[in-house]
Amino acid sequence: MSFNLPQSDKKRVVIVGGGFGGLCLCNKLRKSGFQVVLVDRNNYHQFPPLIYQIASAGIEPSSISFPFRKIFQKRHDFYFRMAEVRSIFPEHKIIQTSIGKVSYDYLVFAAGTTTNFFGNKNVEEEAMPMKTVSEAMGLRNALLANFERALTCATERERQELLNVVIVGGGATGVEIAGALSEMKNFVLPKDYPDLPTSLMHIYLIEAGDRLLASMSQESSAHVERYLREMGVNVLLNKMVTDYNDHRVILKDGSSIATRTFIWVSGVTAQPVGNLGDEHLGRGRRIKVDEYNRVEGLDGVFAIGDQCIQTSDPDYPNGHPQLAQVAIQQGTLLAKNLQRLERGEEMKPFRYHNLGAMATVGRNRAVAEFSRIKMAGFLAWVMWLVVHLRSILGVRNKIIVLFNWVWNYISYSQSLRMIVYAKKAKEVREREALLASTHWGRDLMSQGLEDEKPKQE
């Protein structure tokens, strides 16, 4: 396999990851004079802030996903390749991917994060993460399948395990999925499962710290906790999950909660880059960069968004928050800095401008903070709706999401609660097995990299 990129006398910018930062960088490099290559493991951009609504069957997956090739139609000097990055060889300015190698003049890592299980292999195998659209769809299927099984299971113990939901992690994702599942319990189950007592369903939100939404103010944390408790969610603070065994979540204090729906949203870690050494990694395995988002010690290599950590900003000595706005602002500035480099001009350092934070719990319940302004309740909820609706790509997607929100607000009568398991074609399964068994690093070095010339893939 090969990237099959055309030869060009233009400098090549390879961007790994099509999240908020990578997508913004691609757009800002339009008509920049570079040949831009976007590499992503999926062929679509996904909108993480609304992934929890897929898991709770509130919206359909395609509503918050948009194909890269649709975004960049009629774009000159732009190429998308669906692949995973395996290794980097900076001395040759080449990266190795699941479909082959590609050379670069400038390389930008913007692949975001993955779920952090903090080294607990048993939890990693048993828990259900919710970081991607596919994981959210898997969680939706598991929830609905458990409801169906609860109607026909043989014992009360099994029924309670099926109906208990345990969510680990009190950040924005945790409180949002807890609120969405609470609304499902209170408004959907009585209609879809009239012969299943909703009083048997219990939702637990477990947080190791002393409050929810630790990145926001104490006031906002208190509002969210009160909202969730009013909605029937069991909020457990200062509780740490240590294991999961025999359908029971084990806590550090020795107590346990029976469940077959174990959701883990307790933290994230940067997407790994195969052979990138530990000297380039900081907290959360994030790639260390300077104030210009350059990876220290690697010529022509940059990192933006959640995958990088920059400690040179005096306002954020431990690194910037892993938010979409950080990635977007870094992508915008890096596009300008790459063009400055080509003109022989001095680059400008990155400084994050905090535009605020918000989180929703459910209908008419949300919190929002903008500089010195803090709000909670209906107004914050409306602002949350407006901000997220504006951020979704595509007019069609905006209309569909808005329609779903309005329809759910009026009736909670959504027709998306289907259990669908996608089956991969034999051709795809065989190709994936072949790629997984190939030793890319060995194959790459055996091809004589010292003889490689850039732009001849």
pLDDT-derived band at 1 (thresholds 50, 70, 90) equals: low
**pLDDT for position 361:** 95
Q: Give a yes or no: residue 210 inside a domain.
A: yes
CATH of the domain at 141: 3.50.50.100
Same domain membership, residue 313 and residue 202: no
Burial (CB < 10 A; 0-12, 13-18, 19+), residue 198, is middle
- Domain final position from 340, 355, 370: 355
**pLDDT for position 48:** 92
Q: State the Cα–Cα distance between residues 373 and 132, nearest whole angstrom.
A: 32
Which position has the token pair 């969730």? 228
Q: Give a yes or no: residue 201 inside a domain.
A: yes
**pLDDT for position 422:** 78
More confident call, 455 vs 416 = 416
- Token pair, residue 173, equals 């994702």
Same domain membership, residue 260 and residue 140: yes
More confident call, 250 vs 418 = 250
- Dihedral in degrees, nearest 10, Cα atoms 159, 162, 168, 173: -130
Q: Give a yes or no: residue 174 inside a domain.
A: yes
Q: Give a yes or no: residue 40 inside a domain.
A: yes
Same domain membership, residue 309 and residue 291: yes
Express each pLDDT in 286-336 by its tens digit: 999 999 999 989 999 999 999 999 998 899 999 999 999 999 999 999 999
Report which residue type is found at 261.
Answer: T
In the predicted model, what is the mean pLDDT of residues 346-362? Answer: 94
Given a cut of 50, whether residue 444 has pLDDT beyond it is no
Same domain membership, residue 197 and residue 314: no
Same domain membership, residue 100 and residue 20: yes
Q: Give a yes or no: residue 425 inside a domain.
A: no
Given a cut of 90, whether residue 412 has pLDDT beyond it is no
Q: State the Cα–Cα distance between residues 269 and 251, nearest whole angstrom.
A: 22
**pLDDT for position 450:** 43
Q: Give a yes or no: residue 376 inside a domain.
A: no
**pLDDT for position 414:** 67
Domain count, the chain: 2
Express each pLDDT in 227-272 by its tens digit: 999 999 999 999 999 999 999 999 999 999 999 999 999 999 999 9
Given a cut of 80, whether residue 446 has pLDDT beyond it is no
CATH of the domain at 100: 3.50.50.60
In the predicted model, what is the mean pLDDT of residues 116-141? Answer: 94
Same domain membership, residue 94 and residue 229: no
- Domain final position from 227, 248, 266: 266
Are 20 and 305 within 8 A, CB to CB?
Answer: yes
**pLDDT for position 404:** 83
**pLDDT for position 93:** 96
The angle at the Cα of 389, spanning 385 to 394, to the nearest 5 degrees, equals: 170
In the predicted model, what is the mean pLDDT of residues 5-28? Answer: 95
Which of 418, 400, 407, 393 has the alpha carbon at shortest distance from 363?
Answer: 407
Range of the domain at 226: 121-266
Same domain membership, residue 255 and residue 315: no
Same domain membership, residue 169 and residue 254: yes
pLDDT-derived band at 452 (thresholds 50, 70, 90) equals: very low
More confident call, 279 vs 452 = 279
Q: State the Cα–Cα distance between residues 85 and 417, nearest whole angstrom.
A: 35
Same domain membership, residue 18 and residue 82: yes
What's the mean pLDDT when you consider all of the chain?
A: 91
Q: Give a yes or no: residue 448 inside a domain.
A: no
User: What sign for the dihedral angle of Cα 9, 13, 18, 19?
Assistant: negative
Same domain membership, residue 273 and residue 229: no
- Domain final position from 311, 327, 355: 355
Same domain membership, residue 50 and residue 133: no
Q: Give a yes or no: residue 337 inside a domain.
A: yes
Same domain membership, residue 280 and residue 205: no
User: Could you give the count of Cα atoms lying within 13 Å of 307 in the half-sphere of its Cβ?
Assistant: 25
Are 322 and 14 within 8 A, CB to CB?
Answer: no
